[in-house]
Structure formats: C-alpha cells, structure tokens
Amino acid sequence: MPVDTPATTPQPPQTPPPAHLRRPHFSFVWLVPLVAAIMAAYLGYRTVLQEGPVLTVTFTSADDIAAGQTQVKYKAVALGTVESVALSSDNSEVVVQVRMNNVGARFLTSHARFWVVRPNFTPSNFSGLLTLVSGAYIAVDPGRPGGQFQDHFTGLEGPPGVRSDQPGQTYQLRTASIGSLAAGSPVFYRDIVVGEVLGYDIGNGLGPVTVNIFVRAPFDHLVRPQSHFWKSSGVTAQLQNGAFHIEFQSLQAIVSGGVTFDLPQEGAKSAPSPDNAVFPLYNTRDDATSAGYQNQIPVVAYFTSSVAGLTPGAPVDVLGIQVGVVKSVKLMLDPYAGKAKVRVFMNIQPERVQQVQQLPKNLSPDQVLQKMVNQGLRAQLGTVSYVTGQKEITLAWVAGATPVKLAKEGTALVIPSQSGGLDDAINSVASISSSLSKVDFDKLSNNLNKLLTTANGTLGNPQLEQALTQLNKTLRSANGTLQTVKQTYGDDSNFQRNLQELMNEANDALRSIKLLADYLNLHPQALLLGRGNQ
C-alpha cells in the first residue's frame, strides 16, 4: 500500500558570511637567527680587525710547544697563538708559525728576540716555575726602539741576559780562564748582586777569554777606569802569614761562580766607564788589589838553592810586612858553565807601606834601594808554612854583608840574594852530618873503655887509700901543734886566730877529698860524664 511521503518544504538559500582579511602577526622566533647572524658578522669583522700577520720562529726543539695552545706573551699579555709546528726541510730545526694579533704586530721588528719559557732548574737560575701549572709559552723582548719589519726569527735557546726594559750597561772582562763562571753567574758589589754574566768568547782559542757582563743601573755608575774585577768563584782556601784563611762570596757563588768588583777611593772622582769598556779579570782579590798599586818597582833576584814552593803571587815582605808580590819564577841554564840558577821577578809596591807623596823628593826609588843594599839588604827565601811548603821572598838585613852596587836588567833592579831560614838550617845539619861521618866511633869507644878501666884501677888502688890516711895523721899532728902554740901565745893573739882559720879550712878540704874519693870509687865514669845523670 503506497505510503504517502510528506511534501518537502523548500528552504530559502543561505547567504555565506562576509569574509574579513586579517594581517599575519610578527613572530619573535625569527629574532634568534637574525641576532646570531649579526653577532657572527660582528665577530668576524672584529677578528679581521684584530688579526695580525703570521710570525715564523725556528727553534732547535719543539718541547712544550703545542699548536692552538702555546701563546706568545710579553709581560703576561697574550700577543698571539701558535697555529702550527713542523720540521724544516732538512729536519735540523722546528718551524713554529704564530698568528699574531694587532697588538703583537708592533713587536715584529729586527730588534725583537723570541725564546721559550720553560721550568729552569740550574745552579745559577731558578725560573719559569709558573709554567709547571700554566704550560710553556713563547716570550718576546721587543729590543730597542726602531728597526725594520721582520716576521722570520731564529729563537734563542734561553732568555737573554739583558732585556730592553732593564737599564744598565755591558762590559768586557779579559782573563786567561773563566773557572766556574757561566751565563747567569752573579756580579757582586759589596756582597750585593748588581748584575750577571752574559756569556764568554774564547776568540781563536790562543788569546785571553772575553767574559761579557751586565751591570744594572744605578750600579753601573760605580764601574770606572780604576775599578777592579776578580773571580769570586767557589771557595778560596789559602795560608796567609802562616794562618789558614778560607773565603767565599755567597752560596750562589759557590754553586755557579761569580764576579766581584770594587771602586778604590782614588777612582771616586773619575767619570763612569762607557758601555762595553774593557777591564782585566783577576783570579783573586789579592791579585786585583796588588795590580791596583800605581807605583810598581820591578826587582830581580837570583837563587842557586831550591825554590820549591815559591810560585807567582807569593808575597814579598820586609820585617813580616808585605811590600810586594812575586810575578814569575824561571829556571836559567848556562850551557857554557854547566850551571843553573833561578830568576825570581817581583814587583815592590811602596804604597803598601807609605804614600808615594811622602817619599823624599830628592831620592829616587833606585837610590833608596841602593842605600838599603849598602846596609846589608838581601833577598832570602822564606817559608810561609812548613806544612804546605809555601815559600815567600823575604828582604832582610844581613850582618856584615859587603855593599854591592845594584845592577839593572832593562828597567828591573837586581838585588843580591842570600841563603837563609830553612836553607841555612839544612846546610848546617848537612855540615854537621858530614863531620860526624868522618869520626871513627869504634876507636873512640875503645879508648873510652880503656880510660874508664884505668880510672877505676887508680881510684881503687890501696896506695891512694894509704896516702889519704897519712894525710889525715898529718893534719891531726898539726892540730896538736896548734894547741901547743895556743898555750904559748895565748888565746887572743892574732897568730892563734890565723892558724885556727887555716886549720878549719884544712879540715874542710880533707872532708871534701874523702867524699870525692868515696864517690869516684863507686862511680869512676863520672870523670867523663859528670854526676848530673847519676
């Protein structure tokens, strides 16, 4: 059965809503890449501005140098960073390239010097201790102002002795040998460290060694033409006037050696010495002091006896006061006469005793010395120490010496010599020994035995005893006679008193003879040896 479908009521058409246009909102997310791009551009621009040239330095070793880590510094300010470390084409050196910043670029001049700062533990230097924590770095000294641009350098093996920011002056010292001196050894003035040894140069190896030193300001003004330099290396031990003398400058000088200088009073008014002035370097302070005396009288003496123990530098004294120093001791041979003698050259220094201006103006040193020789002045070999055998020259007056006219060898005066001291004692002992060697002790012993036997027989002879008994009887008889005389002449007469004294003395003599006889009977050897040891 059909179903009736209700009729659909038509709907009116719907009108779409009106469209509204909306502008998109700005997102802050886009600021992040924008800011990053700006910062990158700024940093890149700043890096370009601060970036300096590339520095190339060659070293013998790349110890403690690392690319990207090791820096170039001046007074703890970073000037650049190592970019690469490589070997040279011949493998003899290490080539280090450093990217310098714009500040470091100003250090690239021909006066600059570069070296690696590492921990340094040597007897003369303890430095670079901070690098144990922070690591090694390349240090630079800009040098004096000026110079041309340079970006290739040869690095130093160690820090330079003189920095451009340290005022002072360098000097040259000439010596035969350097002893224990080395680069970095201290320079002393009145026990104050005022500089250091920079190094040395032996030249061609045939001449003196040149030691370069640096003295800091203001102490460099104390270096003047009259200044004396000597080695204060290690410990000095010697005998002075028979006494043991030990001296050292400081603990550092013992380990690494050192140089000491002074300024005599007479040099205080002179001007300071210029840079690179040359001075002699003496082995000891005594040598430097001796060389400082302006008045030096050269003297020569000849000896024909042994001079063992006499060396250059030995003192020359008068009455125990040093007046000079021995300069050389040489053996002189006479091939024609077949003899030998020793030539001792010495310098007499009057300033050790009195000032030059106090010497008589009307007498020259030659005349003064001639007068002393006429009075018996002679050069003798003396002994400073019998333990070490050290000798000296003693100028002594010899009694009864014949006046001698002084001869000359060039500018040197020849003083007559005279054996003395230990030499005389040895010669006397040798003479006595020679005389004793000629004595026939066996024959002398036999004669002494015979003499003792004869003396013993004589003293023990009964006839001697009988004679002494008879003498005793005689004295008793004389005593009886005296009693008779006394009765005749009285007790108070002069004759009696004189006879009494005579008899008293006779009795004393008798007792002495009796004691002597008894003693000699027991000790007949007392006739030769005496009774001191009996």
**Cis geometry, peptide bond prior to residue 218 (ω within 30 degrees of 0):** yes
Give the span between the Cα atoms of 75 and 165, in whole angstroms. Answer: 11
Q: Is residue 231 within 8 Å of 284, Cβ to Cβ? A: yes
SS in 3 state form for 255-318? HHCCEEEECCHHHCCCCCCCCCCEEEEECCHHHHHHHCCCCCEEEEEEECCCCCCCCCCCEEEE
- Joined tokens for residue 99: 């990217």
C-alpha atoms less than 13 angstroms from C-alpha of 120 in its C-beta half-sphere: 15
Provide the pLDDT for residue 153: 93
The model's pTM: 0.56
Provide the pLDDT for residue 117: 87
Mean pLDDT of each 10-residue bin along the chain, 534 residues long:
56 67 63 79 66 88 88 90 92 92 87 85 53 76 87 87 84 90 87 89 88 93 93 64 56 71 87 93 85 84 89 88 90 88 90 64 79 90 80 89 88 85 56 62 66 62 66 67 60 62 70 70 63 54
Provide the pLDDT for residue 216: 92
DSSP-derived 3-state class of residue 86: strand
Provide the pLDDT for residue 430: 56
Give the span between the Cα atoms of 369 and 414, in whole angstroms. Answer: 10
- Joined tokens for residue 532: 């001191």
Query: Which run of H or E residues covers position 31?
Result: helix 31-50
C-alpha atoms less than 13 angstroms from C-alpha of 329 in its C-beta half-sphere: 18
Provide the pLDDT for residue 199: 86
Provide the pLDDT for residue 367: 84
Q: At what angle do helices 462-489 and 494-522 cross, to 10 degrees?
A: 170
Q: What phi, psi does 165 have (nearest 5°)?
A: -95, 10
Provide the pLDDT for residue 342: 93
Q: Is residue 140 within 8 Å of 107, Cβ to Cβ? A: yes
Task: Please give the angle made by the CA atoms of 196, 197 and 203, to the nearest 5 degrees.
Answer: 165
